[in-house]
Structure formats: C-alpha cells, structure tokens
Amino acid sequence: MLKILAVLIFGAMAASANASTFNISPIRAELSNNHRTEALTLTNEEDSPVVVQIRVLSWSQKDGTELLDDTREILATPPVLQIPAMGRQIVRVALRRLPDSAQELTYRIIFEEVPQAAPTGFVGLRVALRLSIPIFVAPAQGNATAEVAWASRWLPNGQLELAATNNGSGHLQITDFEALFPGSLMPLRGVASKYVLPGSRMSWTLTPPADAIRQGAIPIRGHSDKGDFSADVAPSAL
C-alpha cells in the first residue's frame, strides 16, 4: 500500500496546516496481452470526502531525466471520483493498444487530490496529495528482462558519478545499494531509489568518505525489484 504526501500551498504564512490522506493498492499495475485490465483500490483515511482526478501518461527517460507525455494507450476509469469519508473506491486501468512485440511498455498513473474550499475561518496551509504509480505492459513475445551495465567516473569536484545503463527489454527498480570505496572501511549507504527503463541510463552522484582513494574498482551491492545485485565498477569515461 502506498502513501505519499505532496505539499501544495494555497495560502500565505499560516499557523497551521490541513492535509488529506488516501492510500492506493497495489503500488503498480502490470498488464499484458492476456491481462488487459487491472483494478486499483483507493482508500480514504479521513473523516471527510476526498475528490481525486486521475491521468495516465506515457513514461520514458532521456539523459537521466524522467519524461511524461499525454497518452490514449491506457484508459483509467473513472477519470474523476469522490472517495467517501473512511471509504474506498475502485479505479480500473485498461490497455487500449497491442503490446510491443519485444519490449516492455511503461506508463504512470497520477492520482491528484482536487482542492476543496477551505472551511469557514480556516487560516493556514491547504495540503494536497499527489500519488504516482507505474504501469508496465509485458511484451507480446518472451519475458521482459533488464540487462544493466554499470560505469563510473570521478568528477572534478571529487565526487563520483555512478551510472546504470539498461540494455534489456524490461525495467529495473534499484531500491538501494551501498558502495565501498577503495581505501575506506565504511561503505556509503542511503542511495536514492530509481527506475532504469529499457534503453535508458540513470546515474547517481556519490560523495566518497574522506579516507577514500581514487584508484581501483568500486564494489557495489544492492537490492532491486528483481532481486539482489552486485558489481565491481572500475572508473572510466562515461
């Protein structure tokens, strides 16, 4: 179950804040030629109704940047809904095109709270929720698999850029990893989670420990939605 809070300010300086809370489950939709629809459950944890607007966007990556574009290839119904107080609503997503013959297709479905009028006398911040979950469409033939190649380079400011290039037919969600720099006994942890979509390259900028040296390969160990992974990454020109 997913709960993400995105802050949207509707007023000036204030003494208090007001927020809605709703959850969504499951946290991703997986479609295929044999499974063309998926049901998502939105749950309102507040004692007042919440109005939610829904959009589906195509999702790609270019030069490390996430790109979202309008699409009609996935249908989400209803496009606008009201979740009753402490209640639930179902949203259905449906595939409107044929899957790609060999590569996974990727989309994102956005759930955005529609701000309601503030109660009489309310002075403060109005806080709106915005949830985003991925939709993956399996290829028509074979299984979607990620084939990730790692590379790194030292930057002039002393940081290290670590990059993952996905040459496979499916995504990889790198949830976390640690890097052990040569000369240092303390691995660097707490690396941000990122998706690497098919045909894309994503990178992380790491600040090495003070005792690290800039020679030799850098072992990394981590976790992904496809399981644990490891690699020894030798710095080079990316």
Segment 36-66, tens digit of pLDDT: 999 999 999 888 899 999 999 999 999 999 9
| Domains within the chain, CATH numbers bracketed | 17-137 (2.60.40.10), 148-233 (2.60.40.10)
Rounded distance between C-alpha atoms, residue 225 and residue 174, angstroms: 7
For residues 26-34, average pLDDT:
97
pLDDT tens digits, one per residue of 85-141: 999 999 999 999 999 999 999 999 999 999 876 666 655 555 678 899 999 999 999
Q: Look at residue 120 in the predicted model and tell me its pLDDT.
A: 62
- Where do the DSSP E strands lie in the chain? 17-19, 22-25, 29-31, 37-44, 50-62, 65-70, 74-77, 80-83, 88-95, 105-113, 125-127, 130-137, 148-154, 160-166, 172-179, 194-196, 201-206, 218-224, 227-233
Cβ neighbours around 174 below 10 Å, total:
23
Residue 80 has φ and ψ, to the nearest 5°, of -135, 135
The whole-model pTM stands at 0.85
